[in-house]
């Protein structure tokens, strides 16, 4: 199931093309959708380019060619973890990602982290330490950026009211 840009990148990085023709294809060849494990994922044809694949429900990945640093874990690229060699290899990585708070602790279950906000292209996930976690897809990247900023503001305000520490990008 594709639920994030990281899961889409993982799928594309582990997929072995069946033929030479398949290997020559790129995102503009996939605008009819991606068929994965019995599910058809619609492709956002207006946001998809020769090097970027965007799905209509929010996730988007871009191709990072060999010799180009993808941004590593800070850019949401879970594929590379902490390896500079892998970060310079040709692979798919989240196209547009930013995280605030305990994002590194939020790998499998955001409820284990204190609080945080992740913007994964058009998806915004907000969570707190009281078992709240919500992911919302937005129609545009701009709307997702506004929601991301609002999520940070709300969590910071809530933490101040409850006298809890919130993590900043400086922590």
Domain of residue 70, residue span? 5-94
105 versus 117: the higher-pLDDT residue is 117
Q: Are residues 11 and 86 in the same domain?
A: yes
Tokens describing residue 112: 């284990």
Average of per-residue pLDDT across 132-146: 93
Q: Are residues 89 and 28 in the same domain?
A: yes
Q: Would you say the C-alpha torsion 10, 25, 70, 151 has a positive or negative sign?
A: negative
Q: Which of 62, 94, 126 is the last residue of a domain?
A: 94
Q: Are residues 111 and 32 in the same domain?
A: no
Please state, in angstroms and rounded to a whole number, the distance separating the CA atoms of residues 35 and 37. Answer: 7
Q: Are residues 80 and 103 in the same domain?
A: no
Q: Are residues 44 and 27 in the same domain?
A: yes
Please state, in angstroms and rounded to a whole number, the distance separating the CA atoms of residues 159 and 120. Answer: 23
Q: Residue 87 class from Cβ within 10 Å (0-12 exposed, 13-18 middle, 19+ buried)?
A: buried
Closest of 45, 68, 167 to residue 118, by C-alpha: 167
Q: What is the pTM of this model?
A: 0.79
Q: Are residues 89 and 101 in the same domain?
A: no
Average of per-residue pLDDT across 137-162: 89
Q: Are residues 11 and 83 in the same domain?
A: yes
Distance of CA 162 to the CA centre of its chain: 30
Please state, in angstroms and rounded to a whole number, the distance separating the CA atoms of residues 33 and 132. Answer: 32
Q: Are residues 54 and 90 in the same domain?
A: yes
Number of domains in the chain: 2
62: helix, strand or coil: strand
- DSSP code of residue 5: H
pLDDT of residue 136: 95
Closest of 135, 137, 132, 102 to residue 122, by C-alpha: 137
133 versus 51: the higher-pLDDT residue is 51
Q: Which of 94, 111, 127 is the last residue of a domain?
A: 94
Q: Which of 94, 116, 148 is the last residue of a domain?
A: 94
Q: Are residues 112 and 131 in the same domain?
A: yes
Judged by average pLDDT, the poorest of 29-33, 52-56, 64-68 is 64-68
Q: Are residues 114 and 139 in the same domain?
A: yes
Q: Give yes or no for residue 108 having a pLDDT over 50.
A: no
Q: Give yes or no for residue 169 having a pLDDT over 90.
A: no
pLDDT digits (tens, 9 = 90+) for 2-13: 989 989 998 898
């Amino acid at each position: 199931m594709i639920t994030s840009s990281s899961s889409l990148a993982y799928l594309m990085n582990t997929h072995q093309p069946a033929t030479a023709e398949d290997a020559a294809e790129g995102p503009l060849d996939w605008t009819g959708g991606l068929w994965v494990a019995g599910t058809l994922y619609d492709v956002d044809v207006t946001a998809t380019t020769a090097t970027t694949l965007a799905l209509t429900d929010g996730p988007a990945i871009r191709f990072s060619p060999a010799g180009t640093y993808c941004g590593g874990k800070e850019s949401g690229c879970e594929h590379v973890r902490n390896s500079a060699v892998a970060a310079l290899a040709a692979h798919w990585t989240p196209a547009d990602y930013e995280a605030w708070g305990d994002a590194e602790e939020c790998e499998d279950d955001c409820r284990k982290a204190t609080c945080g906000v992740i913007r994964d292209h058009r998806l915004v996930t907000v969570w707190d330490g009281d078992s709240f976690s919500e992911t919302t897809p937005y129609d545009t990247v701009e709307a997702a950026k506004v929601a991301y900023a609002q999520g940070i503001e709300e969590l910071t305000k809530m933490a101040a009211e409850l006298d809890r520490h919130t993590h900043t990008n400086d922590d």
